[in-house]
Amino acid sequence: MSTRRDDPAPGSGPQAPSPSSMPARAFGAPRHAAVPRMETVRVTAPDLARRAAMERTRARLVFAAGFFTLLFLAVIGKLADATIFRPLHPREPPLALVVPDPATPAAPGEHIRRAMITDRNKEILAISLPTAELYADPREMIDTADAAHKLKQAVPRLDEAQMRERLASARQFVYLARRLSPNEEMAINTLGIPGVYFQTSERRRYPLGRVAAQVLGGVDVDEHGVAGVERFFDDRLRQGADPLRLSLDVRVQAVVRDELLAAMTEFQAIGACGIVMDVRTGEVLAMVSLPDYDANEFGDAPPEDRFNRAVTGMYEPGSTFKLQTAAMALDSGAAHLWDQFDARDDIKIGRFTITDFQGKHRWLYLPEVLAYSSNLGAAHIALTVGGERQRAWLGEMGMFRRIGIELPEAGLPIFPPVANWKEVATMTIGFGHGIAVSPLHVVRATAAVANGGLVLRPTLLAEPSEDGAPRDGTRVMQQATSDTMRRLMRLVVTDGYGKPADVPGYFVGGKTGTAEKVGAHGYKKHTNVSAFISVFPMNAPRYAVYMMLDEPHGNASTGGYSTAGAVSAPAAGRVIARIAPMLGLFPQTDDAAAIQASLAIALQPGHGTPAHGTAAATRPETDRGETGRGEAVHALPVHVEPRDQRHEASTDPSSRTSDVVAVPPKDGFAAPPKDGFAAPPKDGFAVAAQ
């Protein structure tokens, strides 16, 4: 088939002439010399079929290209979304502790992670983090000096000279560095030094720094406990993966440290101590000793900072011991609530003198002895009880042995031997001198006085249950005696030297204690240990709070005094106000009047509060506090109830160590002290106090 390209297609309209239909002429020839030009194209059937196939192939290629273009655009969009717009972070596998079978010993070189230590609310106190140790085999090295130089450049904290010395040895294994960080490990690894290896290890860390540093203690480079609970529970922490849950509450710990540090700074004390304990369970919620240190720097802390005043320090408890003297007198029947004790004149023993701080210079009822913190009254009460029963009482209170808490640093009290426990020792120990115990001993004994008469072993382990149910303890006094003592402790805060510790709605009870420190040549004047022991709320005792300052100095706010009522009691009150809501105790303001009435007790019989069934005694009272004239006044009318047989037996003159208090004075004057008071003190035990 052939066709002429210049022929119009049939049925088509007029069309523009194509180039092939235009006349052709030679170059330079005139127009009239042009001749018509014709082109004949022959297209065969196979050509048409091939053209049709090519058209179909072209369409398919276009379709395929479009498909792959869309596909690549989708991939690019997905990559952009995953890497730019919404990048997906890699999921880290959860860290799991591998718990070895306790029956199967660890293989040599196998690493076992040390268990965590937490507080009662599971706040982490101590945790072991993975780290690396660097060691080398010098025999595999080409140039040990060059290796040491390169390691020094990679990790500047390393000692190049020391590494040179170690690598120069012929040993197969030498340590080069411990506790490498991941960055340091990577820097060393990139050096490619032959003979250098890494060993998996761990590093003990204490996230809260100074919190409970002396309680936690520390570990050595091999993760062995060397102090505190880290040492006491070393086997438990190394063999078990479960966290060790302590009774401490970091919130309470922080409050006690905050207030203790503020008081220590204000009164320029050289040290301080604070304790909070549950009087029903013995759990210690806070134990602070200042100065302290960052637990992460245990190895660099000076010994005085690592010293735990709460359990290691032995101090004369001072007037806080008068609670024990009063409790043992009431419980044994040696004295009754309204008995009076001579506090008119100082007691002279050799070259020493027992005096009262701001004394009343008159006969004092037993509640007044505690409220006014009379050393003279407490000495006479102790003589009424007698030295033998005093030793027995203090022994039951645990004053002659270590406290038994889970701290290896717990110290042993200092007390006179039986052979030296004469009248002098009986009197001075009655007001907290001549014996030295730890602050935790004082807290435990006071808790027994307030909780119904049970002595509990203090513990740093949290109780398995959170109901706060009382633990079993050793009964040392009757419930009735404890009830009376709670009222007397409340009296000290409402009418005595403990007033600065009172917190509305919490019915705080307690006792101040100021003791002069012993030096090389006896007691050091105006160098005190000032402590305040408190329990709250006294209508349902829950917590004991102890605050102590070591060698405080009075200032203008205290009138220059550094006594416990001036420097320690206010801090205890602030602690109670802050921690009580944390512990779920809120001020009882709605029925405050009724609660206070149930706890109220008068300083003297007939002054607003009856004797409530307790035996009473009448003695003529001589008031020389203001005038000094010693004028006799009439005895207060008091109802005297019959005494029980126990009291009659205990007050029999033949059973008393001294009858200075037992025999009523004649004509309003006290009998002179017997010769037994004039003996000088033995073995350096104190008889002078304020």
Measure the CA–CA gap between 516 and 636, rounded to whole angstroms: 36
Phi, psi angles (nearest 5°) of residue 319: -70, -10
Q: What is the pLDDT of residue 655?
A: 35
Confidence grade of residue 639 (pLDDT, cut at 50, 70, 90): very low
Give the pLDDT confidence of 141-194 residue by residue, as tens digits. Answer: 888 899 999 999 999 999 999 998 888 887 888 888 888 888 888 889 888 889
In angstroms, how far apart are the furthest CA atoms of the chain? 175
Confidence grade of residue 502 (pLDDT, cut at 50, 70, 90): very high
Q: What is the pLDDT of residue 617?
A: 34
Going 323 to 325 to 331 to 337, the CA torsion angle's sign is: negative
Confidence grade of residue 622 (pLDDT, cut at 50, 70, 90): very low
Q: Please give the domain boundaries of the chain with CATH numbers for all domains.
A: 117-141+148-245 (3.90.1310.10), 256-678 (3.40.710.10)
User: Percentage of the chain with pLDDT > 70?
Assistant: 78
Q: Is 351's pLDDT higher than 80?
A: no
Distance separating the N- and C-terminal Cα atoms of the chain: 141
Q: Is 678's pLDDT higher than 50?
A: no
Q: Is 44's pLDDT higher than 90?
A: no
Mean pLDDT of 33-56: 78
Report how far apart, in Å, the C-alpha atoms of 313 and of each of 173, 307, 402, 522, 617 are.
44, 8, 12, 19, 41
Q: Among residues 364, 369, 277, which one has the least CA distance to residue 325?
A: 369
Confidence grade of residue 224 (pLDDT, cut at 50, 70, 90): very high
What value does the mean pLDDT of the chain take? 82
Report how far apart, in Å, the C-alpha atoms of 472 and of each of 396, 444, 448, 545 are.
15, 14, 12, 21
Give the pLDDT confidence of 596-611 residue by residue, as tens digits. Answer: 999 999 999 876 544 3
Give the pLDDT confidence of 420-463 residue by residue, as tens digits. Answer: 999 999 999 999 999 999 999 999 999 999 999 999 999 999 98
> Do strands 244-245 and 117-118 pair parallel, antiparallel, or not at all (unpaired)?
parallel
Give the pLDDT confidence of 507-561 residue by residue, as tens digits. Answer: 999 999 999 888 777 788 878 999 999 999 999 999 999 999 999 999 999 999 9
Q: What is the pTM of this model?
A: 0.72
Give the pLDDT confidence of 242-280 residue by residue, as tens digits. Answer: 999 999 999 999 999 999 999 999 999 999 999 999 999
Mean pLDDT of 119-126: 96
Q: What is the pLDDT of residue 651?
A: 33
Give the pLDDT confidence of 271-323 residue by residue, as tens digits. Answer: 999 999 999 999 999 999 999 999 999 999 999 999 999 999 999 999 999 99
Q: Is 578's pLDDT higher than 80?
A: yes
What percent of the chain is helix, strand and coil (3-state, nearest 5)? Answer: 35, 20, 45
Q: What is the pLDDT of residue 11?
A: 52
Confidence grade of residue 47 (pLDDT, cut at 50, 70, 90): confident
Q: Where are the alpha helices (DSSP H) in 517-670?
A: 564-567, 569-582, 592-599, 645-650
Mean pLDDT of 96-125: 67
**Which tokens belong to 328?**
């043992």
Mean pLDDT of 325-351: 93
Q: Answer with the residue of higher pLDDT: 345 or 47.
A: 345
Q: What is the pLDDT of residue 142?
A: 86
Q: Is 629's pLDDT higher than 70?
A: no
Residue 51 pairs with which residues in a beta bridge? none
39-53, 233-247, 374-388, 560-574 — which is least confidently predicted?
39-53
The residues annotated as belonging to the active site are 319
Mean pLDDT of 391-410: 96
